[in-house]
A = this chain, B = another copy of it.
Amino acid sequence: MTSPSSARIHARQLSLMLVTDSLACGERSLPEVVAAAVAGGVTCVQLREKLASGYVFLDRARALRQLLKPLGIPLIINDRIDIALAAQADGVHLGQTDMPVADARRILPPTMLLGWSVETPAQVEAANDLDVDYLGVSPVFATPTKTDTAPPWGLEGLSRARRLTVKPLVAIGGISTDNIGALRSAGADGCAVVRAICSASDPQIAATKLRRAFDQGVI
């Protein structure tokens, strides 16, 4: 089941989102890992920097923009709208503790996409009235990457979210090649991964396997 593509991003571009974690990249540079991930089949990249200064965050955003723009891969900035604006990224991703969507929309150019994390069915329903381009269903499974999360949605929860909205759904949290196919079958338009790619010994191969498993769904 595929949701209608929005004007700002096509649902297919959400198939496999890499959410970055600079620490998880180890000794490899972030652009190096991102380039490998994109070569493997990642369809969009969300730059998340919870610890970096504004200076470093913008620097990394610019480096990824330079890498991704020629490839046609959307770059989304987590939380910091100012960094997204300065780096001319394609969009921002906001969570429930970030700036509210209505406020964000007022300071974003109309062409910039906005992703929004939802942790409960009530938040999915509320998001139907918001000008957001996809919903991050978070966390779909338990994950060690974020420890401050709501209870996991699970496959049934994702199916329920699917019935509550026509907006594209991107599942995130604890996703691996073993469960990514089931997420598509349960209604996800895309999946977002952090460690499954950033911590992989070969990010390109990891991305290739994830993408193939997602595209196939449950066989």
Label chain A's interface by main secondary structure: helix
Contacts of A86 in B (CB 8 A): 99, 103-104, 106-107
Report the bound CA distance from A106 to B86 in whole Å: 7
Which A residues are closer than 8 A to B by beta carbons? Answer: 53-56, 58, 79-83, 85-86, 94, 96-100, 103-104, 106-107
Q: Which one of B53, B96, B99, B100 lies within 8 Å of A82 (CB-CB)?
A: B99
Judging by beta carbons under 8 Å apart, are B85 and A55 in contact? no
Q: For A53, what are the chain B residues with a Cβ–Cβ distance below 8 Å?
A: 97-98
What residue of chain B has the Cβ atom nearest to residue A56's Cβ? B97
> Can you name the residue of chain B whose Cβ is closest to the Cβ of A104?
B86
Among B55, B82, B97, B106, the residue within 8 A (CB) of A55 is B97
**CB distance B83 to A99 under 8 Å?**
yes
